[in-house]
Amino acid sequence: MRILVLGAGGYLGGHVTERLRALPGARVLVGGRSPGADVAVDLAADRPRLLAGALAKAAPDAVVNCAGATGGDAVTLAEVNARGPAALCAALRAAAPGARLVHLGSAAEYGAGTPGLRVAESEPCAPAGPYGATKLAGTVAVASSGLDAVVLRVGNPVGAGAPATGLPGRVAALLAEVADPGDPEGELRLGDLSAYRDFVDVRDVARAVELAATAPGPLPPVLNVGGGEALPVRELVRRLADAAGFRGRIAETGGDGNGSGGGGGSERSARVSWQCSDISAAAAALGWAPAHALDASVAALWEARSRSFVPDGVAAP
C-alpha cells in the first residue's frame, strides 16, 4: 500500500508518518516543499494541474493531509487551510480518483459548545475566528469532493513535540525556562485558565489516521477524534507543572480563558469557553477510542521538551 502524507514535517504530521511507517506492507511517501520530500507539492501555491501531475507519479492508494496553518493572518490561513484542501481534491479527482483521502480538520470548526454537552458531527458549525472558519472551508471542500474521503475533526492534541503556538507546548516551554522548579516561592504567570477543552493524545490521533487510511469500504464524511470529555485548561497546566516538578504558584492574570492573557494560550481559541466532542461515530466506523490518559500525554510532552531544552549559555550536545 502506497500512502502519501502531506504536512509530515508538522506536529501531527510527524506522529502520523511515524505511525504509518510501522504499518506492515506500507510504503509511506512524504509530500511537501522541503528538498527531502519524496513528492514535491505546495498545496497553498501549486495549481491543480501541477498537483495532479505530482500525484499521478506518486500513484498513492491513500493520501493523508496533515498540512495546515494554526497561526498567521486571515490570508495565510485561507491559503493553507481552505485553498489547499480544495486544490488537493481537484488534483486527486484528475490523477488518483480511487485513492482514499484522510484530511485532518479541527474541533475549532464547531465554535463554542454548550457546557455539559458533547458535540456530534451532525451539529451545525459556527467557528469563532478565522482559524476555525478556514478549517471548516477545507472540510466542506473535502466532504463535497465526491472522493473516497473522510475528515477527522481533531480536538486539542497533547503529546511529544507540541508546538509553542498552542497552550500545552507554550506552557512546557515556560516551565523549561524556570531556574528552580522546586522553589515554592516561584510563580508561573498565565492568563485565565477557566476554559474547558477536549484533550486527545497525539498518538491516538495518529492511530485514528492509520485506521481511516486502511479501513475497507466508504467512511462517514466527518468523524470526531478527541478525548470525549472536557477538562479545565487549568487542570492540564497543573498536571504539566507536576510533571515538571514545579512547586511554585500558577497565577492566572486574566485573558480569554485559554491562558493567552499571560502568554500561554492560543489566540484562535478565544471566545470559546467549552469544547467537547462526541466520539461515538469514530468508535462505530473505525473501532477507535483514545488509549492514552491525559497524564500519559503530559508525561510524554514534558519528557520530550526536557530532553530538547538547552539553557542559555550551555552548548548543545
Residues annotated as catalytic (active site), given as ranges = 131
Q: At what angle do helices 84-95 and 48-58 cross, to 10 degrees?
A: 50
β pairing state of 2-6 and 27-32: parallel
Asked if 257 contacts 233 with a C-beta cutoff of 8 angstroms, the reply is yes
Distance of alpha carbon 121 from alpha carbon 281, whole angstroms: 8
How far are the Cα atoms of 27, 64, 214 from residue 24, in angstroms, in the given order?
A: 9, 17, 11
Distance of alpha carbon 230 from alpha carbon 116, whole angstroms: 8
Asked if 246 contacts 178 with a C-beta cutoff of 8 angstroms, the reply is yes
Q: At what angle do helices 233-243 and 294-308 cross, to 10 degrees?
A: 50
Asked if 157 contacts 202 with a C-beta cutoff of 8 angstroms, the reply is yes
How far are the Cα atoms of 47, 110, 144, 200, 310 from residue 227, in angstroms, in the given order?
A: 37, 16, 27, 5, 32
Which amino acid is it at 151?
Answer: V
**Closest to 208 (Cα-Cα) out of 305, 287, 130, 146:** 287
Residue 118, strand partner residues: none
Asked if 103 contacts 152 with a C-beta cutoff of 8 angstroms, the reply is yes
